Amino acid sequence: MTDIPSPANPPERLLCGPGPCNVSPAALAALQKPLLGHMDPDFADILLEVVELQRIAYQASGGVVLPLQATGTSGMECGLAHLLEPGDTAIVGVNGFFGRRIVEIANRLGANVVEVPADWGEHVGNEALLEKLDEHPEARLVCVVHAETSTGVQHPLAELGAALRSRDVLLLADCVTSLGGIELRFDDWGIDFAYSCSQKCVGAPPGLSPVAVSDRALERIAARTHPVPYAIDLSLLQRYWVDRPLTYHHTTPVLNIYALHEALREVAVEGLEARWARHMDAGRYLQDEVLSRGLELLAEPEYQLPQLTAVRVPEGVDGKAVAGRLLREHGIEIGGGLAGAPPMWRIGLMGVNADRAVADRVLEALDAVLAQEPAFAASA
């Protein structure tokens, strides 16, 4: 018989990578509240509150708003599966790992995918997207990543939404790293499908994907000729999350939903503008400090996200070894580059970690580790 392991005993970490970030004490405590059944009438009230809080976070008043019981990738798949049918044309901005993932999922759905590429660290110009749309007037969907976590680049989403307003095409935005961290206005910007995650700027544990769908998108979905996969069917999920009496669809992760409820409540209590300003302040502080050390950032400065900073690994420095030492010796997690990316460190200041004092902790640890890297110490 194999030995039975002891109870898991994970160490404390400061989570300053691309996500998850640390969770507020109240959101963590919510996981310890009494477990209710997923059909309990008291839980049904909590579900409705989550939906209302999520509407505030997205600034979304109509359509369907609810969290999927899966991560950001499933939010992406859900949006594409609802808004595309085989043979439909989708125009996709690709300037990093997650734009590429949109392309891959849309291809699997049998769509005709038209990519509008930009280099790592660059933004995808709205002019280029609109030009492609002129070349493909049959396109049903334009997809962009609002906050490309693989590079730290922000998409000018408000401007894109305004430019698409007069056109007969829907706008899908990946808001996995933007919701709760930077300005995002679902209604005002004319977004038709947005998906996010629970574990980044929203500040809850991973496992849920808040989505928002416009009335225009719902009309398109109602006219589909092929049904969508059952597990992510928004019309069925709406009957559980919003319609009352609630109808069983699947057994929801009750404790995670309490934590999301608390995290979204904290977003609302802080206020969106204040929260966006806090993320901006912490991010710009970190970025100035990084630059003052002679390090370089990957993103074009004008499109640099505050909440995710991609730092180029200097010549001769082993980026993976540095990140490993930050974790092992300082208990700080930062990210590395994703497949296909140039060598980089990705530092996230999200949720409760969007704070100058947290930035200072990361910087002090990085200074200590880099001081022992001969290639960097010699150049500094």
Ligand X SMILES: Cc1ncc(COP(=O)(O)O)c(C=O)c1O
Count of positions on this chain that bind ligand X (CB under 6 A) = 13
Alpha helix locations (H) across the chain? 25-30, 41-58, 72-83, 97-108, 126-135, 157-164, 215-222, 234-241, 254-270, 272-292, 319-330, 356-370, 374-379
Tell which one of 197, 297, 299, 350 touches ligand X (CB under 6 A): 197
State the DSSP code for 70: S
Residue 257's alpha-carbon distances to 78, 178, 352, in angstroms, are 19, 20, 19
Q: How far is the CB of 72 from ligand X (least distance, A)?
A: 3
The DSSP line for 197-263 is: -SSSTT-S-SS-EEEEE-HHHHHHHHT-SSPPPGGG-HHHHHHHHTSSS----S---HHHHHHHHHH
The two tokens of residue 255 are 């404790």
Output 174 or 373, the one with its CB closest to ligand X.
Answer: 174
Q: Does 174 bind ligand X (CB under 6 A)?
A: yes
Q: How far is the CB of 232 from ligand X (least distance, A)?
A: 13
Cα–Cα nearest to 211, from 71, 76, 77, 66 = 66
Tell which one of 145, 254, 260, 267 touches ligand X (CB under 6 A): 145
Q: Does 21 bind ligand X (CB under 6 A)?
A: no
Output 18 or 337, the one with its CB closest to ligand X.
Answer: 18
Cα–Cα nearest to 54, from 222, 249, 236, 194 = 194
Report the alpha-carbon distance of residue 205 to residue 208 in Å, rounded: 8
Q: Does 351 bind ligand X (CB under 6 A)?
A: no
Output 103 or 176, the one with its CB closest to ligand X.
Answer: 176
Q: How far is the CB of 135 from ligand X (least distance, A)?
A: 26
Q: Which of residues 39-98 bind ligand X (CB under 6 A)?
A: 71-73, 76, 98
Q: Does 253 bind ligand X (CB under 6 A)?
A: no
Q: Does 149 bind ligand X (CB under 6 A)?
A: yes
Output 207 or 314, the one with its CB closest to ligand X.
Answer: 207
Output 76 or 246, the one with its CB closest to ligand X.
Answer: 76
Tell which one of 22, 69, 177, 353 touches ligand X (CB under 6 A): 177
In the complex, the residues that contact ligand X under the rule CB under 6 A are 18-19, 71-73, 76, 98, 145, 149, 174, 176-177, 197
